[in-house]
Amino acid sequence: MLITKDYNRERAVEYAKAWAMSRNPLFADFTGIGGNCTNFVSQSILAGSCTMNYTPNFGWYYISLEERAPAWSSVEYFYDFMTGKERFAEQNGGIGPFATEVPRESAELGDVVQYATAEGDWYHTVIITGFDGEEILVSAQSDDALDRPISSYNFAQARFLHIEGVRVELSDDSCFEILLRGGNE
């Protein structure tokens, strides 16, 4: 049975601020081979969710450089998984964090921003780590940034992903056999 738990925004932001200017050795660094931005944001979302979806190809997980889902490190696939777009629709109802695209004014700490060219090529993912009045502050890797004002980026389009929660597997059957046996093996 799947239940939804809260996404821990504070942990996601704490992680992002701790690692924005360096690399966590638990994860490969994609800088120079496509960019590390979505990998970094995925790590931050993981810190706030502690849940991965290990579905081959269409999940959201990282085991190693060779064993990871496309959604872990690709701007477009990340969006598709988190929002349940296109081929990821089935997985968005499954285990892991999930998001909805919202207007800028609805974005919160720990939410995600993605940037695109005028032609609609989505190329960069950052995480919201603060606010300075009306200004959104983000942290990122590839072009490492800690609490950088969103207005300092040069982009044609932006989309804001509000992390709604995290679906986790709850096996309510695990206690049944133990109770039935009276705790005896």
Residues 85-105 have a mean pLDDT of 78
**Tokens linked to 182:** 């009276």
Predicted confidence (pLDDT) per residue in 44-59, tens digit: 999 999 999 999 888 9
| H-helix or E-strand spanning residue 9 | helix 9-19
Predicted confidence (pLDDT) per residue in 117-157, tens digit: 999 999 999 999 999 999 999 999 999 999 999 999 999 99
Give the domain ranges of the chain: 2-180
Greater model confidence, 174 or 16: 16
Q: Is the pLDDT of residue 185 over 60?
A: no
85-103: b (≥16 Cβ within 10 Å) or e:
eeebeebbebbbbbbeeee
8 A C-beta contact, residue 79 and residue 120: no
Q: Which of 39-48, 76-85, 121-130 is predicted least confidently?
A: 76-85
Separation CA 80–CA 111 (nearest Å): 15
Instruction: Give me the sign of the Cα torsion angle 47, 50, 54, 57.
Output: negative
pLDDT band at 176 (very low <50, low <70, confident <90, very high): low
8 A C-beta contact, residue 94 and residue 53: yes
pTM: predicted TM-score of the whole model, two decimal places: 0.89
